[in-house]
Amino acid sequence: MRKFLAVSLVSLALFEVLMFPVSVKAEGEQPRHYLEENDSRYEAFQAEYPDIPFDKVVAYVNANADLAPYSDVETIGRPSDFRTLVHKNFALPSGYVPDDIVSLPGGGELRSAAAAAFIDMRDAAGRLGLNLVVRSSYRSHGSQVASYDLVAGNYGVMNAEASVARPGHSEHQLGLALDIVHKAGTTGPLTVQGFDVSEEFYWLLEHGHEYGFILRYGRELEHIHRYVYEPWHWRYVGVKIATAMFDEGISTFEEYYGKYLSPALRAKRRSHRIAPPVLIANCE
């Protein structure tokens, strides 16, 4: 019996080595979302940002956040998925238009699930005397062209690149993003200025995830999401993901995507769902 078990353990160990080879880094140092094909990119990004923990470096690289903006652009395969990541290196298919856009009370448009979630969130905030007002929501490709050209024409291309997505790279075109404004004082105009010190903003930080919304472009994370800090820009990703990000302290959708959603990572997980050989002990 002992001899059989010893042989079985050796066989199992050999199987694991063949099926799950260990890379140059020690196995214990690798986070679960580590992809060997990205090893050199992890090292380069870690060298550029030595203060970022390695597990975050791996996630950011898996989400292509290490690439130069608008270089090596990939076209998104399933843009209608709420888990879609769109940024400067992930582009929407040409001419993409969501097929479930609906109007919001008071103006604006979103995809139906995001619209229903926002209305619930707005009503919950309203019961506390807070006022979530939409300044911008769904934008068509043509609308994004106009927005980008307006900023570039008035403030220069450099400012446009930092604050407005190029057409085909905007979360607004997904129909899942909102720019939320508030009143400057009791009689002031609706504005995004000072939104990050408003009661509405602090409430969103604590409760937005309960309705499926995340702050998309946070402070001091510009080197990851590649835009200026935008406390007014909120993205619908669904309650499950938004709550997981809140509970895990994940500050960017890039990090969540790189840990759990990248196609290469999911393919790796599928390939590793191979059961080891069945070892049937002869107890007689």
Per-residue confidence (pLDDT) for residue 195, from 0 to 100: 87
Per-residue confidence (pLDDT) for residue 278, from 0 to 100: 42
Residue 115 domain-assigned?
yes
Residues 182-230: tens digit of each pLDDT: 765 555 556 667 789 899 999 999 999 999 999 999 999 999 999 999 9
Residue 273 domain-assigned?
no
Residue 94 domain-assigned?
no
Residue 47 domain-assigned?
no
List the domain range (segments joined by +) for residue 202. 99-250
Residue 88 domain-assigned?
no
Per-residue confidence (pLDDT) for residue 187, from 0 to 100: 54
Residue 227 domain-assigned?
yes
Q: Are 219 and 122 in contact (CB under 8 A)?
A: no
Low-confidence ranges of the chain (pLDDT < 70): 1-28, 183-192, 273-284
Residue 232 domain-assigned?
yes
Residues 107-135: tens digit of each pLDDT: 999 999 999 999 999 999 999 999 999 99
Residue 204 domain-assigned?
yes
The Cβ of residue 148 has, within 10 Å, a number of other Cβ atoms equal to: 20
Q: How many domains does the chain have?
A: 1
Q: What is the CATH number of the domain that holds 205?
A: 3.30.1380.10
**Cα separation of 145 and 202, whole Å?**
32
Pairing type for strands 177-183 and 133-136 reads antiparallel
Q: Degrees (nearest 5) of the Cα angle 67, 72, 77?
A: 110
